[in-house]
């Protein structure tokens, strides 16, 4: 198809994908605009569509503007040109994660405003930096600020994942990431002798215990088709350090593990298990946390919950099949939930391979346009949720 016949929403999406990545400037919607510098050089952009009853809690539409790096030699098309092939697939870094959602929010609001609609609840859009490196200089700082509290959030939407089948993935919680470094101290000596009580022997035991647990969780996932990656604890050995020379038995070695724990797991009991593995490896084995997320908030998906009822009702009306899951990695939703607000992770991309952070990330223009239709139905339902008991 020629550019001339392209849907303007798709054109805007492709323009945004070509920005490598600075903030969008979508001031054309006539929305109130506020910029908050959460720390040096990190700006959150807030666009606000005022509701008719501003005392009610608002609906927050969050998206992040940053994208992960690319290895260009693995891409069929340049990753920042948003090339569209003959099937209507748009190739670019950020096509799925998550510039599509930013533009879908905006285009849904543009459509609703053009139809003269207005709703009781205020809708805020936040465009945040830093999500791909942990959100520490983005959403994590933003939720602490008075500007965030002033948004008076009742319910938030944030990113989900594509789904290869015709169902849509909906995420109501996230795993707690734990990054643990285990240090083993032992007797040093010459590389030609059988030194006893070495750091390496202890490290061997540590790694064996940790990886045996990894294998058992992997098998548990494999053997039960009702489980998803979000339901089991993932564990990976990601760094190994130690040693000074071929002929010197080192006095210390260290191993680092990336562990992601579902909200159903008792974190205190899990840490006791880690401590037991370390004790079992011998004396002088210690562990330290480089990240220890303890928040296990999940968002209600009970039909009695007014927010979920509004969200799921629209999906039922539109005959969208939902698959409810725990998010296997981490998004900014965790900071929103930890601040006490319900949040749902949802990127309306079905029949689409999951390619976030991958080479040749793409989204089909029809799937993208269908997403705008979905948001154009979701937003009125969420912004019209009747006053909750707490809102009088």
Closest CA to 123 of 94, 157, 87: 157
Neighbours of 255 (CB within 10 A): 20
- Same domain assignment for residues 107 and 230: no
Residues 112-122 have pLDDT tens digits of: 999 999 999 99
- Same domain assignment for residues 282 and 363: no
- Same domain assignment for residues 148 and 197: no
Range of the domain at 277: 176-292
Q: Is the pLDDT of residue 27 over 70?
A: no
- Same domain assignment for residues 211 and 135: no
Q: Where are the alpha helices (DSSP H) in the chain?
A: 8-17, 99-114, 139-142, 146-149, 199-223, 267-280, 306-317, 333-338, 365-383
Output the CA torsion sign for 84, 81, 165, 215.
positive
Binding residues for Zn(2+): 64, 97, 132, 159, 357
- Same domain assignment for residues 105 and 200: no
Judging by DSSP bridges, how do beta strands 189-190 and 168-174 pair with one another?
unpaired
Is there a domain that residue 304 lies in?
Answer: no
Residues 129-153 have pLDDT tens digits of: 999 999 999 999 999 999 999 999 9
Q: What is the CATH number of the domain that holds 377?
A: 3.40.630.10
Q: Which residues are catalytic?
A: 66, 131
Cβ atoms of 46 and 24 closer than 8 Å: no
Q: What is the CATH number of the domain that holds 265?
A: 3.30.70.360
Report the C-alpha gap between 146 and 344 in whole angstroms: 23
Residue 20's pLDDT is 77
Residues 189-223 have pLDDT tens digits of: 999 999 999 999 999 999 999 999 999 999 999 99
Length of the chain: 392
Backbone angles phi, psi at 8, to 5 degrees: -60, -30
- Same domain assignment for residues 198 and 114: no
- Same domain assignment for residues 358 and 221: no
Average pLDDT, the chain: 95
- Same domain assignment for residues 183 and 138: no
Quote the pTM value.
0.91
pLDDT class for 22, splitting at 50, 70, 90?
very low
Is there a domain that residue 61 lies in?
Answer: yes
The last residue of one of the domains, among 263, 292, 321, is 292
Is there a domain that residue 315 lies in?
Answer: no
Is there a domain that residue 310 lies in?
Answer: no
Average pLDDT for 54-77: 96
Is there a domain that residue 226 lies in?
Answer: yes
The last residue of one of the domains, among 292, 318, 341, is 292
Cβ atoms of 76 and 91 closer than 8 Å: yes
- Same domain assignment for residues 124 and 87: yes
Q: What is the number of structural domains in the chain? A: 2
Is there a domain that residue 301 lies in?
Answer: no
The last residue of one of the domains, among 238, 272, 292, is 292
Binding residues: 64, 97, 132, 159, 357
């Amino acid at each position: 198809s020629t550019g001339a016949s392209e849907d303007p929403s798709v054109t805007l999406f492709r323009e945004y994908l070509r920005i490598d990545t600075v903030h969008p400037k979508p001031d054309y919607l006539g929305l109130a605009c506020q910029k908050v510098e959460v720390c040096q050089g990190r700006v959150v952009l807030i666009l606000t569509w005022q509701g008719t009853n501003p005392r009610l809690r608002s609906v927050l539409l969050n998206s992040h503007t940053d994208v992960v790096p690319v290895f260009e030699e693995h891409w069929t098309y340049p990753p920042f040109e948003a090339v569209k092939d003959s099937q209507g697939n748009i190739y670019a870094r950020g096509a799925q994660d998550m510039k599509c959602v930013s533009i879908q929010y905006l285009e849904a609001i543009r459509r609703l405003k053009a139809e003269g609609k207005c709703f009781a609840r205020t809708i805020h859009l936040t465009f945040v930096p830093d999500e791909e490196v942990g959100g520490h200089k983005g959403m994590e700082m933003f939720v602490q600020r008075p500007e965030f509290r002033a948004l008076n959030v009742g319910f938030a939407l944030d990113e989900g994942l594509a789904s290869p089948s015709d169902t849509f993935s909906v995420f109501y919680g996230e795993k707690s990431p734990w990054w643990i470094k285990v240090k083993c101290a032992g007797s040093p000596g010459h590389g030609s002798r059988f030194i006893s009580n070495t750091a390496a022997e202890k490290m061997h035991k540590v790694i064996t215990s940790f990886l045996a647990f990894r294998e058992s969780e992997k098998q548990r996932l494999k053997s039960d088709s009702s489980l998803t990656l979000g339901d089991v604890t993932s564990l990976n050995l990601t760094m190994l350090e130690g040693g000074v020379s071929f002929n010197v038995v080192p006095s210390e070695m260290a191993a680092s593990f990336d562990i992601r724990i579902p909200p159903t797991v008792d974190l205190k009991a899990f840490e006791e298990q880690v401590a037991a593995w370390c004790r079992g490896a011998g004396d002088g084995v210690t562990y330290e946390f480089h990240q220890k997320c303890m928040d296990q908030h999940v968002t209600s998906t009970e039909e009695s919950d007014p927010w979920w009822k509004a969200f799921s009702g629209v999906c039922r009306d539109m005959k969208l099949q939902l698959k409810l899951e725990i998010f296997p990695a981490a998004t900014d939703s965790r900071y929103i939930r930890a601040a006490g607000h319900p949040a749902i992770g949802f990127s309306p991309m079905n029949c689409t391979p999951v390619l976030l952070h991958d080479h040749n990330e793409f989204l089909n223009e029809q799937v993208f346009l269908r997403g705008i239709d979905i948001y154009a139905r979701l937003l009125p339902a969420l912004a019209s949720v009747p006053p909750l008991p707490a809102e009088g």
